[in-house]
Structure 1
Amino acid sequence: MGSKGSFNRNYLRMKINQFERWGMSSFSGILVLIFGFIALLFPNIAISALAIYFALAILIGGVVLTSYALQYRHVVTNWKSKLFEGLLSLILGVAIILSPKSAAAFLMIVIGAWAILIGLIFIGTFFVKKTSQIIDVLNLTSGVISVTLGAIIIFNPFDSSRFVVILIGIYAIIYGILSMVFSSKIQNHTNE
């Protein structure tokens, strides 16, 4: 009977890890994609309004991560880090909603830095893997674009919030699509 309970727990852990790998990536990809389309369709929207949407996306992600961590704390080994990440997201989301104008300037820096970091990760992944598959070339290309857009967003040489909103929208759409492609590749790999 002990081995059956162990099997059920291991099976549950495997299913949770599969959800964590492709489900969360797909979920965040969809949120970022929506964010990107809003930025492109309504470029005259104030940066502070985008900050509020960003805060809502962070809050939703925080609620999902926090509930996930608490619900599966007896099964998942890294539940404390997921709980911390979820609570931090909730705090950050509330702070942005309470002061959107102050958060807007900070948001520009965060989005730019995030774009640069993600771009460097994509570029690094390309050079570590050293393959020329189409997905790897897409990673390299999106990495270079991401670093470039991140630098433009941070330094904003054109001093135009409309231009920055459009850049953010383009980047968010690219990142959202790549997140969903990546999550589907993970799902296909785990189903094999």
Structure 2
Amino acid sequence: MLPEGLIEGLGRTWWLFVLRGAAAIAFGVLALVWPGVTVTVLVFLFGVYALVDGIGSLLAAWRHRGDLVHRGHHLGEGLLALLIGVIALVWPDITALALIVLIALWALTTGIVEISLAVRLRRVITNEWWLALSGVLSILVGIILLVRPGAGALAIAIVIGIYAILFGVVLTVFGLRLRRLSQGMALRSRGNAG
């Protein structure tokens, strides 16, 4: 699929990026407002967020059936997020270390998908570096969480909260930019047809 076709396809699902971004922001704010919550509450909040994110990614994969690479990225990200979300909700007494590993795996996967998407969009959309930066941030947070899993729960909650808010803002802005770009392309194609 040409990048223009990719933009059209992504433009139809702009709201999924905004939904995922809003869910990430909500999770991040809750993690910062309640940094001393029990691990069980943090696991529950992350589980709900991961389910919303996974459903959003699977919907995006379904909408992009014609683009196997893009569909595959969303499918892999969505299935992993759903799996992690279900594990977190079904097994709420999970240890802090296991929670950190789950979040780290999710962050690494998400970062790889974001960087891949930014590379594919670089010729079509300006400032795609925001998405690439979000991907790098996701990978860095994933690595930090894997390398330093024993850091205090309060410190981890703050890092995760800040990361979730930044990630959510980038996803929301990206979704709104896709919407605007898609609308502009639709207007140009109508103008060329008439």
Q: TM-score range by the shorter chain?
A: 0.5 to 0.7
Shift of 1:106: 3.1
The equivalent of 1:42 in structure 2 is 34
- Note the 1:90-109 alignment, pairs <5 A: 93-102=85-94, 104-109=96-101
Using the size of structure 1 for normalisation, the TM-score is 0.65
Counterpart pick for 2:160 among 162, 168, 172: 168
Amino acid at match of 1:35: F
1:33 CA displacement: 0.7
Q: Give, in angstroms, the shift of residue 153 of structure 1.
A: 1.3
Indicate conservation of the 8 Å contact 2:131/2:174, yes or no: no
The Cα shift of 1:29 comes to 0.8
Cα–Cα, structure 1 residues 48 and 156, in superposed 2: closer, same or farther, change >3 Å? farther
2:20 to 28, 51, 55: 28
Matched, 1:148 2:140: yes
The equivalent residue for 2:191 is: none
1:11 corresponding residue in structure 2: none
Preserved CA contact (<8 Å) 1:156 1:164? no
Give the 5 Å matches for 1:83-162: 93-102=85-94, 104-124=96-116, 135-156=127-148, 159-162=151-154
1 CA distance for matches of 2:182 and 2:90?
42
Amino acid at match of 1:28: R
Let me know the Cα RMSD of the aligned residues: 4.2
CA shift, 1:148, in A, is: 2.0
For structure 2, the 5+ residue unaligned runs are 1-8, 66-71, 185-194
* Cα distance in 2 between the residues matched to 1:98 and 1:159: 25
CA contact (8 A) 1:51 1:100 kept: yes
Q: Secondary structure of the residue that 1:101 maps to in structure 2? A: coil
Moved more, 182-191 or 119-128: 119-128
Which amino acid in 1 is paired with 2:170?
L
Structure 1 window deviating more from structure 2 (145-154 vs 99-108): it is 99-108
Q: Any conservation in 2 of the 1:109–1:154 contact (CA below 8 Å)? A: yes
* Structure whose CA Rg is larger: 1
Which residue pairs with 1:189 in the alignment?
181
